[in-house]
Amino acid sequence: MALIVQKYGGTSVGNIERIRNVALRVAQTYDAGNEMVVVLSAMSGTTDNLIRLAHEACERPDKRELDVLLATGEQTTVALLAMMLKSMGYKATSLLGHQAEVVTDCACGSARILNIGASRIRRLLADGQIVIVAGFQGADIHGNITTLGRGGSDTSAVALAAALKAAVCEIYTDVDGVYTTDPNICKKAQKLSRISYDEMLEMASLGAKVLQIRSVEFAKKYNVPVHVRSSFKEEEGTMVMQEDADMERLVVSGVTCNKNEARITLKGVPDRPGIAFRILNPIAEAGILVDMIIQNTRTGNITDFTFTVPKTDLREAVEISRRVAEEIGAEEVMSDANIAKVSVIGVGMKNHSGVASRMFAAMCEENINMLMISTSEIRISCIIEEKYTELAVRALHTTFGLDKPEETLP
Ligand code: ADP
Ligand code: ASP
Ligand code: MG
């Protein structure tokens, strides 16, 4: 008997028929003699609709109340699944985040899980129950409902698997595994049978939304084997696991893109010590995450300072930048939301030179201008105009030899 955590994403619980399909899968795994904890997302589109509603109610919804609202999406699906399983004759109980003792920090909208008590889950499991937990939510130490950021149900599931020392955390989604790139963008993407935590961390942080990045951080930290697979098919998906000696070390193993960033440039900034701090500190204090940063020196003691922020924070970041620009005597503030970041990732890059130039050659061949570039030990990213995203992803996928052989294309 093993303890298995299964997480079903929004598409997998998108309507009653699909929830019934989930109930059958859960029942099957339970009947095979396993202990079961099931984590659910809201029905696909629900969280977006709730966010839209909140913005109809007021321009800047209060973050605490927004979390109270967003948490209702997952409350609906866990109740529906639990009542179906009960009507099929199984013992099942649905729990909201706080009932499952998911304790988070107070950062509404992007809270981090601090601890999972799970004593009630253990008691229910000991009673032979199937436990169904609402993903994406927890509560802070004051008892306020919090949510974990978009895609947060993945993190709920892996964190629960870690807390309960589950044998495996199965992530059921609308694709049958982790691919070399988003299979919905590139038909030649190949399914990976295994991927290391480190590569998956990079892929997730650079835009592969198949797993939320924090879920991979948890998986790596607590060594939870994660199996990403389809809720519509039986076949095995992708194991996300510790890197081992047999893992194929391709120079580049994945290509990602992210359209959720925007760029801000302060032009004509005086070039003196402390300026980067003056510009970025108020942005950080507003809780806005800065990703890429570049500074170009012009003639004289003048520079242009450019950085990227999440698109959702662009307005606030521009307001702050305008204020700072005035204080430090910069010429002007420009912003651009029509950008995307494309990246190539691979642990094999550590021991290979020339990866960057191959990437740049591919972009040049497609006549795509790179606006910003950044690198780490196992990835290279560049910012381009958003309209070229798909073209760039496909070109890089081909350049680094990741395309499926022609004869296996559907
Ligand atoms: P869920 O609702 O099940 O959590 P998501 O929409 O969050 O599903 O994540 C699955 C989606 O991730 C896929 O439909 C696919 O478009 C996207 N995706 C992006 N990059 C990849 C990748 N490298 N491999 C697989 N899927 C990817
Ligand atoms: N429902 C949440 C979202 O749409 C969480 C999740 O699906 O993982 O982001
Ligand atoms: Mg998701």
The pLDDT value recorded for residue 176 is 95
Q: Which residue do the tokens 């606030």 mark?
A: 316
* C-beta 34 within 6 A of ligand 1: no
pLDDT in tens, 240-279: 999 877 666 778 989 999 999 999 999 999 988 899 999 9
pLDDT in tens, 312-370: 899 999 999 999 999 999 999 999 999 999 999 988 888 888 899 999 999 999 999 99
In 204-359, the DSSP E strands lie at 226-230, 238-241, 254-258, 261-270, 293-297, 302-310, 332-336, 339-345
Listed as ranges, residues in the chain with pLDDT below 70 are 246-248, 406-410
Q: How far is the CA of 240 from the centre of ligand 2 (A)?
A: 20
Secondary element (H or E) of residue 271: none
* C-beta 47 within 6 A of ligand 2: yes
Q: How far is the CA of 210 from the centre of ligand 1 (A)?
A: 3
The pLDDT value recorded for residue 278 is 95
Token code pair at residue 282:
């108020």
Mutate-to-test residue for ligand 2 from 11, 41, 48, highest number of ligand atoms within 8 A of CB? 41
Mutate-to-test residue for ligand 1 from 180, 209, 257, 394, highest number of ligand atoms within 8 A of CB? 209
Whether residue 310 contacts residue 261, with contact meaning beta carbons closer than 8 Å, is answered with yes
The residue type at 58: C
CA–CA distance, 34 with 269 (Å, rounded to integer): 62
* C-beta 74 within 6 A of ligand 1: no
CA–CA distance, 376 with 164 (Å, rounded to integer): 34
As its CATH architecture, domain 3-174 has: 3-Layer(aba) Sandwich (3.40)
- Ligand number, closest to the Cα atom of 11: 1
Q: How far is the CA of 228 from the centre of ligand 1 (A)?
A: 10
CATH topology of domain 255-405: VC0802-like (3.30.2130)
Which atom of ligand 2 has the smallest separation from the CA of 150?
9
Task: Using only the alpha carbons of the chain, give its radius of gyration.
Answer: 23
* C-beta 269 within 6 A of ligand 1: no
Q: Where are the domains of the chain?
A: 3-174, 255-405
pTM for the whole thing? 0.92
CA–CA distance, 178 with 240 (Å, rounded to integer): 9
Q: How far is the CA of 85 from the centre of ligand 2 (A)?
A: 23
**Cα distances (Å, whole numbers) of residue 394 to 138, 187, 388:** 39, 9, 10
The pLDDT value recorded for residue 408 is 59
Which atom of ligand 2 has the smallest separation from the CA of 73?
1
CA–CA distance, 147 with 11 (Å, rounded to integer): 19
Q: How far is the CA of 372 from the centre of ligand 3 (A)?
A: 28
The pLDDT value recorded for residue 410 is 54
